[in-house]
Copies of this chain bind each other. A is one copy, B any other.
């Protein structure tokens, strides 16, 4: 038998913002939960499309040509190569990411928010 994943329970176990945690995997992708806090960093991914699904709060996905603002039950796919910068508009902005296992959170950028080793929770 296969175990289900309760996303609220997983998110309750996340302490630090901008630290994605793996909660499931399928095919070549990971499902991750992440808490947002303020603005992330402008970056892109050369090879990977990324899915962001807002579970709670409100996320602004900034693009160079305009923003998309998402609430719970809304998702957006950022295609490879497209520069973007996620931003939390509320304190409780919790997001699920689905993206290839090869995806580095900061994409083409390397800074203090880069997470090389992803933890599973």
**A residues adjacent to B (C-beta < 8 A):** 1-8, 24-29, 31, 48-51, 55, 61, 63, 65-70, 73-79, 82, 98-100
Contact = CB atoms under 8 A, between A and B. Distances in A.
A76 B27 contact: no
Shortest 8 CB-CB distances between A and B: which pairs?
A26-B49, A1-B66, A4-B76, A26-B77, A4-B68, A1-B65, A1-B63, A24-B77
B74 A7 contact: yes
User: Which DSSP category, helix, strand, loop or mixed, fits chain A's interface?
Assistant: strand
A31 B8 CA distance: 21
A73 B29 contact: no
A27 B26 contact: no
A85 B47 CA distance: 34
B29 A29 contact: yes
B6 A76 contact: no
A41 to B, nearest CB: 18
Given A7-B74, A26-B49, A73-B7, A79 B31 contact: no
